[in-house]
Structure 1
Amino acid sequence: MPPGVTIAVPSFNQADYLDEALRSIFAQDVPCEVYVMDGGSTDGSVDLIRSWSPRLAGWRSAPDGGQSAAINNGIASGRAPYVTWLNSDDFLLEGALSRLIGRLEDLPAAPFCHGRTWDQDETSGRRKSTWVEPVSEARLALRCVVSQPGTLVRRSAWEALGGLDPGLQMAMDYDLWWRLWRRFGAPAFLDEFVAVNRVHALTKTSTRRREHYREAMEVVRRHHGRVPLKWWLAQPLQVWIRSRFREL
């Protein structure tokens, strides 16, 4: 049976989480071709990847041009009609891919589909629903209303845009949703939980919050023409909250 989904798994020193991410992919009821794109980890990740190698379509571990470039290279190596990436510290829920594919097959004009996800606090283990909603320009200009672990993109749309912008390292997914929406129209929305986004102290969103906001605001300016006031008010507050969180 040909693969239904090409999945790139970017990773760097995430041995504590990578195994569960891969297990969640191979537990799906959809054929997947999986490419692990490791940035040259030194924490035991390579041994873990080798243990999975019989089931992987490909993998490499070496310094790369950053997360966006690694994801693009992984997806370009595949041939399935649907594509996505799963960060090594996130994981899919049971039946996620088949439900996303089903929604896209119901709406053949949609360039991608996005579902609901959980944010899981790795300290307490508690989950809360990620802020996800149907896409419109007004809502997308205020925040990224698409949660990347819960997405699936048509390869035809991905390749038409050239994948992720390799010049972005923090808000490349936000930029992709804008470009897909501008070029092809509204995505399909699946009102079901399909993935879990781990929240921990070492995520880029936590450790590089100021940079993340700056890049996201530039994405909004690029696609919307201006940056709504909300961004200017929220940035200093969120940066302060994250810095306090790291101190505790």
Structure 2
Amino acid sequence: MPHISLCIPAYAMGGKGAGFLAQSFDILTTQTFADFEVVVSDQSDDEAVAEICAGFADRLSIRHIWNRDGKRQASANVNNAMRHASGEIVKILFQDDYLNGVDAMKTVAQSFEKGAKWQLCGSGVSRNGGAVERPMVPRLTPKLMFGKNTVSSPSVLAMRRADLVYFDEELIWLMDVDLYQRLWDQLGDPVISPDTLVVNRVHAGQVSASVSPELRRHELRYMRAKQAGGLSFAQWLEYWRQLLKAR
């Protein structure tokens, strides 16, 4: 059994998905920590992603899983990858993101050596797949659940498989912050690795670029309804602020 399962939800992404994945795989082949598997849950209607996985099979331990009949959104697709993970640690890495530096996987592994249940790492963004801008260290706040994302994308997240918490498949825009909040509530504070271990690629095909105001309003109200224990004053303020932004 591998120590870490790297879970990647994949789809055609307007013809760019396979290329993004190939760049990510190239970086994975250089990692100084090698005790990991790659689990790709593929919702593509073509063979491009599957061919990339086959092309790297001699250099990486890759399990390609077709998920064409599954719910077509990131939360459901990444959950499918997580359900097929066999490693002690489950690390998320979205298809258009990639690791930064040869020691990224080693740092993730070391974060769990003292019994941590979940981990967040620093991230940056790139517009060209090269230069990294806007480094960000994750920070948890009570306003997180309503879209004030001070953590970054799901690619900065890793969990012990024994403590695995899945994404809410009713959510698209708020799928990440909802999960961070539930992990925080259930497992306590994470280990935070401040180094920029993940790069989030900025491009026109990002899911976040296509989120409508209607979807934002729907998910904000859904999140409010989930909080059966009530909201703090700061959370109510953030809820109304985000609702006004979504008009």
Paired-residue identity, %: 21
CA contact (8 A) 1:4 1:30 kept: no
Indicate the structure with greater helix content. Answer: 1
Change (3 A) 1:191 1:142: same
2:66 maps to a residue whose letter is: S
Change (3 A) 1:133 1:73: closer
1:51 paired to 2:50 = no
Q: TM-score, normalised by structure 1?
A: 0.79
Helix, strand or coil at the partner of 1:105: coil
RMSD of the alignment, in Å? 2.7
Helix, strand or coil at the partner of 2:112: helix
2:9 maps to a residue whose letter is: P
Partner of 1:133: 138
Partner of 2:43: 39
1:31 maps to a residue whose letter is: D
Q: Give 1:1-248 correspondences, 5 Å limit.
A: 2-13=1-12, 14-28=17-31, 29-42=33-46, 44-54=48-58, 55-63=60-68, 64-66=70-72, 67-94=74-101, 95-106=103-114, 108=115, 110-122=116-128, 127-129=132-134, 131-138=136-143, 143-147=148-152, 148-158=154-164, 161=165, 163-210=166-213, 213-214=216-217, 217-218=220-221, 220-221=223-224, 222-223=226-227, 225=231, 227=236, 228=238, 229-235=240-246
Cα offset for 1:105? 2.5
For structure 2, the residue ranges without an aligned partner over 5 or more in a row are none
Q: Distance in 2 between matches of 1:142 and 1:49?
A: 34
Q: How many residues align?
A: 229
Q: Distance in 1 between matches of 2:64 and 2:22?
A: 14
Which 10-residue stretch deviates more, 50-59 or 144-153?
50-59
Q: Distance in 2 between matches of 1:71 and 1:167?
A: 13
Cα offset for 1:196? 0.3
Cα offset for 1:71? 1.8
1:232 maps to a residue whose letter is: L
Q: CA offsets per residue over residues 29-88 of structure 1, 9 Å max, x none?
A: 141111111102437333222212443442133522233222222222222111022111
1:68 maps to a residue whose letter is: S
Cα offset for 1:24? 2.5
Q: CA offsets per residue over residues 118-164 of structure 1, 9 Å max, x none?
A: 111239x6542255432232455561222222221111211xx3x22
Q: TM-score, normalised by structure 2?
A: 0.80
CA contact (8 A) 1:18 1:88 kept: yes
Helix, strand or coil at the partner of 1:137: coil
Change (3 A) 1:154 1:211: farther
Helix, strand or coil at the partner of 1:84: strand
For structure 1, the residue ranges without an aligned partner over 5 or more in a row are 237-248
